[in-house]
Each structure stands twice: as structure tokens, then as C-alpha cells.
């Protein structure tokens, strides 16, 4: 598959961002419910947290019920974080905060469901016993949901009068003024691919993605960010898409990012 540069630039859709807003609400809900239902089946099949003593029908009904309730609570919490942009630039803090926000009401659900299902006494002290495993399961589900929702980080084209991308100030002297084609992570360094050659700088890719705002491009692989104007053509190699840069260098497109890049018209 070969696509000339001109076709890559025609009818570009609105810029995509790695956030909840890049996916329709219905799709986010269905994805979240699918994750919690799969988790429920796993927890029921393994008899997690001493539920293996119960008969299979009761065990599966219990886990499906509490996990479905947790999924709906989690959806509401994650939507609130997404709509308000809470801790958007601090994913670890956002994950911890949302996990805690989910775990508090979910603990009450599990406490009540456990007492009803297994005919236990309603002791408020058991809430403290239930909270740690609920926190653990909630953290795992939030992490899985985050991984499933990962999308390319695509920066915005600078608007007239907007400051130039801060990242361009990091170009080594011999590359100043060159057209930036791509940024490649190499251990603790970044290799900058430009129209005047390449060079290394000491920086993490995650930090570079923040400073690249103002240049239109996307993360195509866990180790690559590619400028839209730096792509000469797209082709398939061994079943995967490869972006050939103007310099001749080939940047990989992993399956994680391929779907969104395809919808964005990159290939």
C-alpha cells in the first residue's frame, strides 16, 4: 500500500487527542462493561476472595452482580474525571484518585451483597475488611480500562499568533531551522529525525509529547512520534503499516495506534 504525501494531507479531520472525548459515550460504556464482566467471570471461576466455598451458580451471580454495579459506578466516576479534565496531565494521580472514588461506594455494594448472598450478619466493622480487596480489584479494572482506551497522542496545529512548539528550541545548533520529521525514543535519549539529518538529545518521550504541542503529528508507536508533514508515504510491511519519512527513515505504526491513525486519514 503506497499513499503519496498529497493524499495524506487532503481532507484532514479534526485533531484527535488521547482523552475520553475521542471515543463516543456508548463505546466507552460498552468497553467498560465488557472489562468488568470478563473480570467477573475470572473472579467467579477462580473463587477469588474465599468465594470458592459457594456453589457455582451462586458464585457467578454474586460476582456478576457486584462487578456490574462497580462497572456502572466506575463509568460515572471516569466520565466525571474526563468531562472536567481532573488530573488530565497526571495519569498516575488520575488513576489513583478515580480508583479511590470508585472503591468507596463499591465497598458498600460488596458489603451488602456479601451479607445477602452468603447470609452473613450485617456488621459495620466488616466494611473495613471489604475495602482492601475492593480497592485492589478497582485498581486492576481502572488500569485495564486505561490500556483499552489508549489512543495516539496527536498534537494541535498551531493557530495564527500561537507560540511555536517549545520542543523546537531543543534542536541541536546544527539542526536549528530544520523541518522536524519524527522523534524516536532510544533508552533515555531521543533521536530527532529532521530534514538536515538526525541527532540525539537527553529527554523522555513522555515529556517531549507535552512540548510538541503546536506541531501537528501523532504518536505511532510507544517509541515514536511522527510529524504529519514529515510523512512521504505509507506502506504495509509484514502485515503492519510503516510510515516512510521524507528523509527515507521508516517509522513503525503499532496495532495500538493503527486504527485511530487510519480514521484520521494518515493511511
Do 215 and 123 fall within a single domain? Answer: no
Name the pTM for this structure: 0.60
Do 215 and 105 fall within a single domain? Answer: no
Q: Within 10 A of 259 (CB to CB), how many other CB atoms are there?
A: 11
Query: What is the pLDDT at residue 146?
Result: 83
Do 50 and 126 fall within a single domain? Answer: yes
Do 82 and 12 fall within a single domain? Answer: no
Q: 212's torsion region: left (phi>0), alpha (psi -120 to 50) or beta?
A: alpha
| Final residue in a domain of this structure, among 117, 148, 179 | 148
Cα–Cα separations (whole angstroms), residue 91 to 86, 87, 183: 10, 7, 22
Question: Tens-of-pLDDT digits for all 267 residues of the chain?
Answer: 444 444 444 333 333 344 455 567 888 899 999 999 999 999 999 999 999 999 999 999 999 999 999 999 999 999 998 888 788 768 889 899 999 999 999 999 999 999 999 988 889 999 999 999 999 999 999 999 887 776 665 665 554 555 567 899 899 999 999 999 999 999 899 999 999 999 999 999 989 988 888 788 999 998 999 999 999 999 987 888 999 999 999 999 988 788 888 888 888
Is residue 223 domain-resident? yes
Do 93 and 179 fall within a single domain? Answer: no
24-31 LR contacts (CB < 8 Å, sep 24+) = 25/79, 28/75, 28/78, 28/79, 28/149, 29/75, 31/145, 31/148, 31/149
Do 134 and 232 fall within a single domain? Answer: no
Q: Which domain holds residue 27?
A: 20-148
Amino acid at each position: 500500500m503506497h499513499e503519496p504525501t498529497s493524499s495524506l494531507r487532503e481532507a484532514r479531520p479534526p485533531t484527535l487527542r488521547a482523552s475520553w472525548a475521542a471515543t463516543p459515550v456508548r463505546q466507552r460504556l460498552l468497553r467498560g462493561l465488557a472489562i468488568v464482566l470478563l473480570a467477573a467471570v475470572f473472579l467467579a471461576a477462580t473463587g477469588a476472595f474465599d468465594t470458592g466455598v459457594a456453589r457455582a451458580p451462586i458464585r457467578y451471580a454474586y460476582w456478576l452482580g457486584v462487578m456490574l454495579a462497580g462497572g456502572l459506578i466506575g463509568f460515572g466516576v471516569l466520565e466525571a474525571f474526563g468531562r472536567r479534565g481532573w488530573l488530565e496531565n497526571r495519569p498516575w494521580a488520575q488513576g489513583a484518585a478515580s480508583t479511590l472514588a470508585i472503591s468507596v461506594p463499591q465497598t458498600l455494594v460488596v458489603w451488602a451483597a456479601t451479607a445477602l448472598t452468603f447470609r452473613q450478619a450485617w456488621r459495620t466493622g466488616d466494611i473495613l475488611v471489604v475495602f482492601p480487596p475492593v480497592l485492589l480489584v478497582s485498581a486492576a479494572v481502572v488500569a485495564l480500562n486505561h490500556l483499552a482506551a489508549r489512543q495516539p497522542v496527536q498534537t494541535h496545529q498551531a493557530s495564527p499568533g500561537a507560540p511555536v512548539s517549545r520542543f523546537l528550541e531543543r534542536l541541536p545548533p546544527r539542526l536549528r531551522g530544520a523541518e522536524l520529521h519524527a522523534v524516536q525514543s532510544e533508552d533515555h535519549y531521543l533521536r530527532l529525525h529532521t530534514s538536515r539529518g538526525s541527532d540525539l538529545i537527553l529527554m523522555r518521550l513522555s515529556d517531549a509529547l507535552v512540548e510538541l504541542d503546536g506541531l501537528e503529528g501523532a504518536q505511532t508507536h510507544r517509541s515514536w512520534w511522527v510529524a504529519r508533514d514529515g510523512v512521504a508515504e505509507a506502506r504495509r510491511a509484514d502485515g503492519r503499516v510503516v510510515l516512510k519519512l521524507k528523509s527515507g527513515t521508516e517509522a513503525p505504526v503499532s496495532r495500538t495506534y493503527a486504527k485511530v491513525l487510519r480514521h484520521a486519514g494518515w493511511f
